[in-house]
Amino acid sequence: MTDTKKLIDPRLPRGFEDRLPGEIAAVDAMIAKIRAVFERYGFDPVETPLFEYTETLGKFLPDTDRPNEGVFSLQDDDEQWLSLRYDLTAPLARYFAQNYDRLPKPFRSYRQGLVFRNEKPGPGRFRQFMQFDADTVGAAGPEADAEMCMMMADTMDALGLAGKYVVKVNNRKVLDGIREAFGIIEDGRWLTVMRGLDKFDRLGWDGVELLLGKGRLDDSGDYTAGANLNVEQIKQLHFLLTSSPSGTLQPTTSAGTPVLQFQFDDADEVIDRGSPDNRQTVEFIRANLPFNLTLADGADRLGSMVELFDAAGYKADRIRIDPSVVRGLEYYTGPVFEIELTFEVKNEKGQKVVFGSVGGGGRYDGLVSRFRNEPVPATGFSIGVSRLAQALKLTGNLGAETPVGPVVVLVMDRDQTARYQAMVSELRSAGIRAEMYLGPSGMNAQMKYANRRNAPAVVIEGSQEREQNLVTIKDMIAGAEASKQFTDNAEMKAARPAQFNAPRTGLVEAVKRVLANEGVN
């Protein structure tokens, strides 16, 4: 009696995906365009490892058995906790602090790579994804923040998305001013508020309202605890998320405590918060939210950025001041930015929605300072590569077709393998991508293989060709097009479209002509 072999189920972990040649080639081309813009702005590449010490990442620290949820962590043999990076900014802070004495200040760099989030996966939400970041470390003024926003706008234009995006800008000090008005002392509670507000674009007001109140139960049954704000505070944040400069807002004092009171045109209606003029939006914040110095300072800093946008010719149709922008990460300390794609798509329920965010960032003046005694200002922007690629595919700006494969030299006679290998070597030496068929199958199967490889041409040398010192070249691209006029397979084989003979000594030149005719580089 023989034991039945137990086979392993070939399955992917949840929240991860495989990438195919067409997608890889398209994303590489997209990244090249992003890199070109970043380098035009004077940024240089830096690469950091996937793993960092958990402590240096700064978001989660080891508690009992492992760091808290949110990052993938393991314990090294020296009992040090290591974590897969959850973004590219925290590793940059470590790199800059570690190499502080030899780096120029300000330090301008960009990075591209995979990041990992130990969180619940869902449609369009992965545990492993690629980001492309740019950061300026050591510059405290609004010029560095404004430059990030302008570079993002130029990047979207370079990717063919002109008129389909807006870079939205806010300042965390505006939100900090609201925190002061609410009198929220506990950092954890305010963080719950911020995370709730940051989900506005994804959950809408109904979902955010639950997160600001008692909590939210999602469709899967998972429960997220709320911030337990009162009804009046929730109304005030509703106004912040949905108001436009035409809205009205008046500060008052009740029992010595600053509070906000709002007058809504329609409390149940989401008002378009887009503004045709950034200066108008800043004045709206100054005029209608002047209840403490913190918020006023945030408005003033936004005003300084608007002056720079105007001077460089970036109007509100490309870069817009928007007080609803929050950003979820804890380390932002000033301006925050977000790229929102404004065209409509259908969600999983078939409803029309705006595509939404494909990147964001902001100022994080405290992140590097964790490693040094002196303050180190920093600002940066991160693009979600996978999500941006999806957007480009929807707009027809991502070449997602399978890339052209290699020229395939067929093996017609097994005892002549050395001759076929010599042909492949000649083609490769001439800079032509080529391979010799390595399988055991006959000609028909080899031709199917060449089709699956998306080969632009195949090289055939059987005994008859060899006796005449010839090779047969088949243009696979032209042949596929010509075959459309034939209704009978036998008729097509007899006609042999796009197939010709060439001298064996002229192999390279003949293949080059085929590739040139088909526009293959």
Q: How many CB atoms lie within 10 A of CB 521?
A: 7
At residue 82, the pLDDT reads 93
pLDDT band at 486 (very low <50, low <70, confident <90, very high): low
**Structural tokens at position 48:** 């950091």
Query: What is residue 29's three-state secondary structure?
Result: helix
Percent of the chain residues past pLDDT 90, beyond the cut = 48
Beta bridge partners of 362: 336, 380
Amino acid at 277: D
pLDDT > 60? residue 490: no
Please, are residues 356 and 341 in contact by the beta-carbon 8 Å criterion? yes
Higher pLDDT, 148 or 490: 148
Residues 337-380: tens digit of each pLDDT: 999 998 887 765 667 777 888 999 999 898 888 899 888 999 99
pLDDT > 80? residue 496: no
Amino acid at 229: L
At residue 175, the pLDDT reads 85
At residue 266, the pLDDT reads 40
At residue 488, the pLDDT reads 55
Percent of the chain residues past pLDDT 70, beyond the cut = 85
Average pLDDT, stretch 481-489? 62
pLDDT > 50? residue 275: no
Q: Kindly report which listed range (117-126, 183-192, 381-390) carries the lowest average pLDDT score.
A: 117-126
Give the neighbor-by-neighbor strand order of the sheet with 407-409. Answer: 434-436, 407-409, 457-460, 470-475, 499-503
Please, are residues 498 and 518 in contact by the beta-carbon 8 Å criterion? no
Q: Is the sign of the CA dihedral 272, 276, 280, 282 positive or negative? A: positive
Taking CA 442 as the corner, what is the angle to CA 440 and CA 447, rounded to the nearest 5 degrees?
A: 110
At residue 259, the pLDDT reads 37
**Structural tokens at position 355:** 């595509």
At residue 329, the pLDDT reads 67
Helices H / strands E in the chain, number of each = 17, 20
Helix (H) or strand (E) run with residue 111 in it? strand 107-116
Q: 237: number of CA atoms within 13 Å, CB side?
A: 32
Please, are residues 174 and 295 in contact by the beta-carbon 8 Å criterion? yes
pLDDT > 60? residue 63: no
The closest of 186, 140, 187 to 379, measured between CA atoms, is 140
Displacement of CA 402 from its chain's centroid (Å): 21
At residue 258, the pLDDT reads 35
At residue 433, the pLDDT reads 95
Residues 11-50: tens digit of each pLDDT: 999 989 898 888 888 899 999 999 999 999 999 999 999 9
At residue 120, the pLDDT reads 80
Q: Kindly report which listed range (66-75, 115-124, 402-411) carries the lowest average pLDDT score.
A: 66-75
pLDDT > 80? residue 283: yes
At residue 255, the pLDDT reads 38
Average pLDDT, stretch 484-493? 55
At residue 61, the pLDDT reads 41
> What does the alpha-carbon distance between residue 177 and residue 328 come to, in Å, rounded to a whole number?
17
pLDDT > 70? residue 400: no
Taking CA 127 as the corner, what is the angle to CA 124 and CA 132, rounded to the nearest 5 degrees?
A: 80
pLDDT band at 187 (very low <50, low <70, confident <90, very high): confident
Average pLDDT, stretch 129-152? 95
Q: Kindly report which listed range (280-284, 302-306, 448-452, 498-502) carries the lowest average pLDDT score.
A: 280-284
> What does the alpha-carbon distance between residue 300 and residue 127 come to, in Å, rounded to a whole number?
38
pLDDT band at 158 (very low <50, low <70, confident <90, very high): very high
By CB neighbour count within 10 A (0-12 exposed, 13-18 middle, 19+ buried), where does 286 fall?
middle
Question: Which residue do the tokens 């200002």 mark?
Answer: 377
Which residues, at least 6 apart from 481, have a Cβ–Cβ distance to it below 8 Å? none
Average pLDDT, stretch 246-258? 36
Average pLDDT, stretch 116-122? 83
At residue 132, the pLDDT reads 95
Which residues, at least 6 apart from 458, have a Cβ–Cβ distance to it below 8 Å? 407, 408, 409, 410, 446, 447, 450, 473, 474, 476
pLDDT > 80? residue 409: yes
By CB neighbour count within 10 A (0-12 exposed, 13-18 middle, 19+ buried), where does 520 fall?
middle
pLDDT > 70? residue 462: yes
pLDDT > 50? residue 445: yes
> What does the alpha-carbon distance between residue 17 and residue 126 come to, in Å, rounded to a whole number?
8
pLDDT > 80? residue 249: no
Amino acid at 408: V
The mean of the pLDDT values for the chain is 84
**Structural tokens at position 263:** 């007058």
At residue 138, the pLDDT reads 94
Please, are residues 168 and 325 in contact by the beta-carbon 8 Å criterion? yes
Please, are residues 89 and 382 in contact by the beta-carbon 8 Å criterion? yes
Give me the phi and psi of 289, to 5 degrees please: -125, 45
Q: How many CB atoms lie within 10 A of CB 164?
A: 17
Q: Kindly report which listed range (16-20, 270-274, 461-465) carries the lowest average pLDDT score.
A: 270-274
Displacement of CA 127 from its chain's centroid (Å): 13
At residue 114, the pLDDT reads 95
Residues 308-347: tens digit of each pLDDT: 999 999 999 999 998 888 876 677 889 999 999 988 877 6
pLDDT > 80? residue 124: no
Query: What is residue 344's three-state secondary structure?
Result: strand
Q: Kindly report which listed range (51-65, 106-120, 242-256) carries the lowest average pLDDT score.
A: 242-256
Average pLDDT, stretch 240-262? 43
